[in-house]
Structure 1
């Protein structure tokens, strides 16, 4: 019966889990499997452990399909031997085992998450009086740790990633079954069909959402972040603040706060940005049948940048993720900065290879939900989508102390707030610009200007017709030190006179 919170087809084909975190075994090989369990438990790079798939052969790191599979009696033998292998690892380590039916065959999947009691070691060989070694993952192989790597393992002993730590101030009742069921259904896990019929603590253990002794089971932080209705009651900064600036000074702005399970707030914030910010334009090319289409911001770049912020930020801090939508750019700010040794110079490279991750399990959940891709792919994807859209290059930065991580996505130049001057004949916008500049040769108020051109006097009309002229210095404020003054008026400048002459 399936006990995995993951789609088995995606797992076997390494669609949502990186191939280096999957080990395929055509048959049961106890020593190799023990070494791999030990290596995944040590989780040297804080990647979240991995999976051993027994009954599927491997060629060049990829599965050979259809699978060879296992006979029922072989599965029973493997599961009995697994208990023996788990007790040979020091300290004892027990993975989640699940029998899966895949492409007409039974296979055994061992889900080995990063252990809480690392470093782990196990026998080199299954013999009397064996030699014990520490094992770690290097690429897609489990290898014996060098003396220096053993030293690093001991340094990692007390550094369990925050999202995988037990939360002693919460209880299992803080995990909500409807949210868990919704997740299992969305990712296509076979566990969804049994989830309502098994004891809730058992379900949570199969999902690795709780830890502890039977008499003291407590949720881990990742469970509270994804499967609690109000995680901000536990983690104050677990939210996304989206601020849209109406004017260049910042006196007028709109703010939206997104809370709830982190994957829900991520989707809600992205939906808001897609519905209210993203705009498309079509440019016809002379002597070319196909028109050119582009956006002020490619949505895929925003999606990846914000998902990366949710994945890599620290939930120990009270600072929320900030999305600042300015007139000429979008800034996505999260705290703190990248995990050392990644710094500003690394952020300029096409691909970043990090040694460890702040949240080893949040990323797995986001990938299962198709909200982010594999580790190390975020920055290349953002750069690629900005380039394909014809947008300026994105900027990634942090400070020397890595206190923050800032992603800046500049607006496409065709959506620049500066007013455009048509080459041949006046567009509607240019005609309105001419009306405003003529009117404001003598100072007029905002409402007088908008009434004069025959539009409503709301903020949207101000942003569309008046604000670009202020930004291009075609209009000046008569009370510049108090932009929102009720007595504020606007007057045509010398630059405005020159633009008027061109029009």
Structure 2
């Protein structure tokens, strides 16, 4: 059964930190059982790790192309993995999957964090071997001694909230569409297999459900990412965004972003990128070149909000709050950082190395979706983004009890303050694609373009291109009369493939910008397409 991750991305360290990867040129049972034990103990709550057999390493990095394993040895090695797993106490079994990478056979052992730590393993494969608990130190597995051993004992029977079973939920609360969309996005081989699997088997394979067959239950991280309404299980799990139109504090608009974690994060970032973040160019009298900058650099905003989603406690019924002021953006989440990080460290250090992490599974999912970077990179990324843009330094704060975490991103010192003023033009809510579609659905007359400024038209164009794709205009202009899909794609210079249909045509059908001649039979051999009145109004607003 394939793993819920892309093997090439995994090997190149694109989805998992190097500390969580161990490469072995050949099969070495003694070293491998120590590493299985270390990943199972997961002393840093990172989520375990992966052992990749058949690839040599240098300084913890893979040497490619793979050395490979003999095909005839794969079954034997997999049998030995079971024997090694039985050597661990308590019993622990990694998930084993063979792959072919660059024409060579390799074997991947996925070792998720265990629920019954501490685990111990024999020091050698000989008789009379001593037993030790092993932990990861950098890219090596070592015996837990001293402070490491004390920390490991403290973690006994302590499972992070996002990896716990939710007894209030059922497997049916998962949404198969969200799961398959995730697997397809991360390019996992499990995507194709999922089409022929039961939900229970799929959830088990992704480790988003645990328990006996008769009482299989979702884990919290699975519900947060793969249920349509996670707020049904975790109170007020959404992002609240308030845009202050002036400094009075009483003139503002509110927006709520709900749904799965990845959906609400992406929707909130899209709103901020479309409506708040603006590029400006200023001529400075003392220099020849003009200065080009953003009022708020997107990379800093993205990292700050992603970190809030990653590190928030979902046991606490407090949403993530984003306040957009004329002079700053504030992002507030609850609670504060995990000790030993405190207010003094936040104020004095730009790079913070946390020992423990609150949400090991949430971090994995976000990283696989490219919504956050590696552990320990959040604050440095924000500092660098603000510095590259020429913005003032960001501020990070918490209180003595570490009950909250506040990020403040000051506006660029040269940025113009944009006031709320429609300039006498037709007011169009530039929030998201749904608002645009709602507006043009109401404006059915030929005069819908009247009173709409070029600036607003540009704003609509930006929203449509970001939310749908950049070929909306090109396609809609070809569909004034009924034409076939093949002819439509030929006119805009694209191949008539299922990939292009899903990417370019299906979104326009979903938004009712385009209609089918035979809507009840999408695969009709004489199927044709035509622009709808909504699509025509969109072209008019955009001035096409």
TM class, shorter-length: 0.7 to 0.9
> Secondary structure of the equivalent of 2:414?
helix
User: Is 1:370 aligned to 2:370, yes or no?
Assistant: yes
> Secondary structure of the equivalent of 2:293?
strand
Q: Residues 458 and 178 from structure 1, CA distance in 2 versus in 1: closer, same or farther, beyond 3 angstroms?
A: closer
Q: Tell me which residue corresponds to 1:463.
A: none
Q: Residues 458 and 267 from structure 1, CA distance in 2 versus in 1: closer, same or farther, beyond 3 angstroms?
A: closer
Distance 1:289 1:9 in 2: 47
Runs of 4+ residues deviating >3 angstroms = 284-291, 416-419, 454-460
Distance 1:77 1:210 in 2: 29
Q: Tell me which residue corresponds to 1:277.
A: 276
Native 8 Å contact 1:328 1:416 kept in 2: no
> Secondary structure of the equivalent of 1:242?
strand
Q: Tell me which residue corresponds to 2:83.
A: 84
Deviates more, 1:11-20 or 1:326-335: 11-20
TM-score, normalization by structure 2: 0.76
Q: How does 1:16-415 map to 2 (within 5 A)?
A: 16-284=15-283, 291-347=290-346, 348-415=348-415
Distance 1:291 1:80 in 2: 67
| Aligned-residue offset at 1:101 | 1.4
Distance 2:243 2:208 in 1: 36
| Aligned-residue offset at 1:15 | 1.6
| Aligned-residue offset at 1:39 | 0.3
Distance 1:459 1:8 in 2: 45
Q: RMSD of the TM alignment (CA)?
A: 2.2
| Aligned-residue offset at 1:456 | 6.8
Deviates more, 1:394-403 or 1:289-298: 289-298
1:209-261: per-residue Cα shift (whole Å, max 9, x none)? 11112322111100000000000010012110000112212111100001110
Deviates more, 1:126-135 or 1:328-337: 126-135
Distance 1:122 1:289 in 2: 68
Aligned pairs, number: 428
| Aligned-residue offset at 1:152 | 1.9
| Aligned-residue offset at 1:455 | 4.7
Distance 1:458 1:122 in 2: 68
Distance 2:380 2:146 in 1: 35
Native 8 Å contact 1:167 1:221 kept in 2: yes
Unaligned 5+ residue runs, structure 1?
Answer: 420-445, 461-503
Q: Residues 185 and 458 from structure 1, CA distance in 2 versus in 1: closer, same or farther, beyond 3 angstroms?
A: closer
Distance 2:241 2:170 in 1: 31
> Secondary structure of the equivalent of 1:181?
helix
Distance 2:43 2:264 in 1: 31
1:296-345: per-residue Cα shift (whole Å, max 9, x none)? 10011000000000000000000000000011100000000000110122
1:242-294: per-residue Cα shift (whole Å, max 9, x none)? 00112212111100001110011000000011111011111346797764310
Distance 1:457 1:206 in 2: 53
> Secondary structure of the equivalent of 1:236?
coil
| Aligned-residue offset at 1:375 | 0.5
Q: Residues 206 and 289 from structure 1, CA distance in 2 versus in 1: closer, same or farther, beyond 3 angstroms?
A: farther
1:139-191: per-residue Cα shift (whole Å, max 9, x none)? 00000010432222121013211111111111111112111100000011111
1:344-376: per-residue Cα shift (whole Å, max 9, x none)? 222231211000000001111111111110011
Native 8 Å contact 1:383 1:393 kept in 2: yes
Q: Residues 389 and 85 from structure 1, CA distance in 2 versus in 1: closer, same or farther, beyond 3 angstroms?
A: same
Q: How does 1:390-469 map to 2 (within 5 A)?
A: 390-415=390-415, 417=417, 455=424
Q: Tell me which residue corresponds to 2:469.
A: none
Unaligned 5+ residue runs, structure 2?
Answer: 430-544
Distance 2:178 2:215 in 1: 23
TM-score, normalization by structure 1: 0.82
Native 8 Å contact 1:43 1:49 kept in 2: yes
> Secondary structure of the equivalent of 1:241?
strand
Distance 1:297 1:49 in 2: 36
| Aligned-residue offset at 1:417 | 3.5
Q: Residues 418 and 55 from structure 1, CA distance in 2 versus in 1: closer, same or farther, beyond 3 angstroms?
A: closer
Distance 1:330 1:312 in 2: 19
| Aligned-residue offset at 1:207 | 0.8
| Aligned-residue offset at 1:127 | 2.5
Distance 2:112 2:180 in 1: 21
Deviates more, 1:264-273 or 1:127-136: 127-136
Distance 2:245 2:219 in 1: 41
Distance 2:237 2:365 in 1: 16
Distance 2:386 2:151 in 1: 39
User: Of the two, which has the highest radius of gyration?
Assistant: 1
Distance 2:280 2:65 in 1: 47
Q: Residues 130 and 412 from structure 1, CA distance in 2 versus in 1: closer, same or farther, beyond 3 angstroms?
A: same
Distance 2:291 2:28 in 1: 57
